[in-house]
Amino acid sequence: MRADLGSLAASLKAAPLKDLATARAGQASLSAAGWTADLSRQYLDAESDAALLAHGAKAGLEDAAASLFNGDIVNPSENRPALHWALRAQAPLSGEAEKVRQSVLPALEFARRVQEGDIRTVGGASYKAVLHIGIGGSDFGPRLIADAFADLAAPGIELRFCANVDPWDLEHALTGLDPASTLVVGVSKSFGTEETLYNLGRARKWMEASLGAEASRQIALVTANPDRAKAWLGGNDGYLFDMPLPVGGRFSLWSAASLACMIYLKAGTFEAILKGAAEMDAHTRSAPLAENLPMRLALLDFWNASFLERSMRVVLAYSHRLRMLPTYLQQLEMESNGKSVGPGGVPSPYSTAPALWGGEGSVGQHSYHQWLHQGSRSVPSEFILAPDFDRDPEGITALTAHALAQAEVLANGRSLEEVRAEEPDLSDAVAKQKVHAGGRASSFLHHKAFGPEAFGSLVALYEHRTYFAGKLWGLNPFDQWGVERGKTMATRLKPALSGDGMADDPVTASLIKDLS
């Protein structure tokens, strides 16, 4: 089958994308949970699409979905299931999945009580600010949610974030806050993440300067290691919430890891996000391969990266609410599938996950869209049109027109003949510079009623897509050995930076000398 896909890809690379898209127009869309994806402008035809579906069936994508939702071991590195989906289940489950579902409920209740004033500061006042401290999967998701729905914030509560070990990050986050009215939320699954513990320690000292020994009573910790968290609190009062072991950090925005967002957003908002995600889960679990949106998108990623040799994908969010989505997806996809060796120690026979980048809709049109249109590389683009359609009609019309136009020009280009016909007075040199090669593939996702539920279903879509793509590449999306190696090496280099040791690597040693 791989040879068949390879020969099909080779023949389609030379095919005009405009012709392929015209033949597939109106026939290459899929829908799930209110989202519609149009895949007309991809290097696919009926034969290659059928071959991809056959490959997906042979690779066991439907069985992979059943394994995920049955709670089977899908993370062999840690001998665990992956139960992030259970956090958003709308009805009781069974076994370990039900324990995971229950784990988010205390956080939701705590948030409700903070908003209603039942839980107060040491001094008896209502909280006015929440400081979220975490990094990686303990930061990207909550930050994405908070930025997307700032207009749905509960009155009177400010939310700040701190992730970086750079001291300025925390100092910037604390600017203008009063420790007496601030709740600090620390999120670390292992409760051993250096950056998070560093920032939590500094935040506690900041609070202790005002509140003394009672500062810990205004700290909430979210972790899978409660014993270590309790030891850090020193036996003092503090709030502890569970992050279940079968929930990976980059899949944890549905959990108590988003406690700060639960407090920050109006009642019902976070529950709506969970509901939308559950709707996408239901689709993923039950839809056959041919109609299964995350499976089909995973197959597209597999096709583009492994057979058309596209080493990048750009996500263009035509929605201000989703401006941070590319950043979130970078961790979700590139940490999950940024590997080349499978769990059995066997290298993948394919080029695996592409680099992912992107940004906010029409803003990017004034910077890197130039490169997308006329640069020397052809990069598949993913348009996401999801504005609030009940806002100013003129702006929504303009935003929609820009998204459609960018996709059309990427695909169809602009020939030298078109340039000369439209601008006959141009010199030959200038006319040639205005040519757009076209032939640049794109997908177009859109939703007509964007809000918290649509947000939840979109993020769940990308989670499942990532899982299925890992299955196609023969990878385990739920470990991250590359990340952990860097952390280990940083720990080893600290003594060299303080003058208590030497770096083994000569370039590192030279750099340390220059930095001292």
pLDDT of 1 above 50: no
Residues 69 and 84: their CA atoms lie apart, in Å, by 10
> Residue 469 has what pLDDT?
98
User: Mind listing the pLDDT tens digit for each residue in 407-454?
Assistant: 999 999 999 999 999 999 999 999 999 999 999 999 999 999 999 999
Place of tokens 């970078």: 330
The residues, ordered by sequence, that sit 6+ positions from 224 with a Cβ below 8 Å of its Cβ are 189, 190, 191, 242, 243, 244, 245
pLDDT digits (tens, 9 = 90+) for 237-264: 789 999 999 999 999 999 999 999 999 9
How far, in Å, CA of 492 to CA of 378, rounded? Answer: 41
CA distances from 339 to 17, 183, 353, 422 (A): 30, 38, 8, 48
Q: What is the mean pLDDT of the chain?
A: 96
464 CB-contact burial (10 Å; exposed 0-12 / middle 13-18 / buried 19+): buried
Round to the nearest angstrom and report the end-to-end CA distance of the chain: 57
- With vertex at residue 417, the alpha carbon angle to CA 412 and CA 418, rounded to the nearest 5 degrees, is 55
Give the number of other Cβ atoms within 10 Å of residue 364's Cβ: 20
Is 61:468 a contact under the CB 8 Å cutoff?
A: yes
| pLDDT for 389 | 86
Q: If pLDDT is split at 50, 70 and 90, which confidence band does 2 have?
A: very low
- R_g (Cα) of the chain, nearest Å: 25
Q: Which of 195, 271, 333, 335 is catalytic?
A: 335
Residue 232: its H or E element: helix 226-233
- pLDDT tops 70 at residue 155: yes
Q: Alpha helices, DSSP H only, in 307-451?
A: 325-329, 336-337, 361-364, 369-374, 393-412, 416-422, 428-433
The second-level CATH assignment, the architecture, of 2-58+287-473 is: 3-Layer(aba) Sandwich (3.40)
Specify the amino acid at residue 39. L
pLDDT band at 500 (very low <50, low <70, confident <90, very high): confident
Q: How confident is the model at residue 506 (pLDDT cuts 50, 70, 90)?
A: very high
Quote the DSSP letter at residue 213: G
CATH of domain 84-272: 3.40.50.10490
Active site residue 487: yes
Place of tokens 């896909």: 5
314-371 pLDDT, tens per residue? 999 999 999 999 999 999 999 999 999 999 999 999 999 999 999 999 999 999 999 9
With a cut of 90, say whether residue 499 has pLDDT above it: no
By CB neighbour count within 10 A (0-12 exposed, 13-18 middle, 19+ buried), where does 409 fall?
middle
> Domain ranges in the chain?
2-58+287-473, 84-272, 481-515
DSSP 53-108: HHHHHHTTHHHHHHHHHHT---BTTTTB---GGGGG-SS---HHHHHHHHHTHHHH
Question: Active-site residue among 172, 205, 487, 494?
Answer: 487
Identify the pLDDT of residue 348.
97
Q: Is the dihedral of CA 177, 178, 179, 184 positive or negative?
A: negative
What burial letters (b/e) apply to 268-295, b meaning 16+ CB within 10 Å?
ebbbbbbbbbbbbbbbbbebebeebbbb
C-alpha–C-alpha distance, residues 495 and 104, integer Å: 40
Residues 6+ apart with CB under 8 A from 102: none
Q: pLDDT value at position 431?
A: 97
Q: What is the pLDDT of residue 3?
A: 54
Question: Backbone dihedral region of 472: left (phi > 0), alpha (psi from -120 to 50 degrees) or beta?
Answer: alpha
Mention every residue, 6+ apart, whose C-beta is less than 8 A from residue 416.
431, 432, 435
> Distance between CA 38 and CA 125 in Å, rounded?
52
The percent of residues above 90 in pLDDT, for the chain, comes to 92
Q: Which residues pair with 31 in a beta bridge?
A: 36
Q: What per-residue confidence (pLDDT) applies to 136?
A: 96
102/71 Cα distance (integer angstroms): 16
The answer to whether domain 2-58+287-473 and domain 84-272 are alike in fold is yes
Q: Considering only 37-46, 191-200, 245-254, 499-508, which range has the smallest mean pLDDT?
A: 499-508
Hey, what long-range contacts does 62-68 have (CB within 8 A, 24 or more apart)?
62/288, 62/289, 62/292, 62/295, 64/467, 64/468, 64/471, 65/284, 65/285, 65/292, 65/295, 65/464, 65/468, 66/285, 68/467
Tens of pLDDT, residue by residue over 85-121, are 999 999 999 999 999 999 999 999 999 999 999 999 9
Instruction: Tell whether the model's pLDDT for residue 301 goes beyond 50.
Output: yes
Give the C-alpha distances (Å, rounded to integers) separating 480 from 333, 338, 477.
11, 9, 8
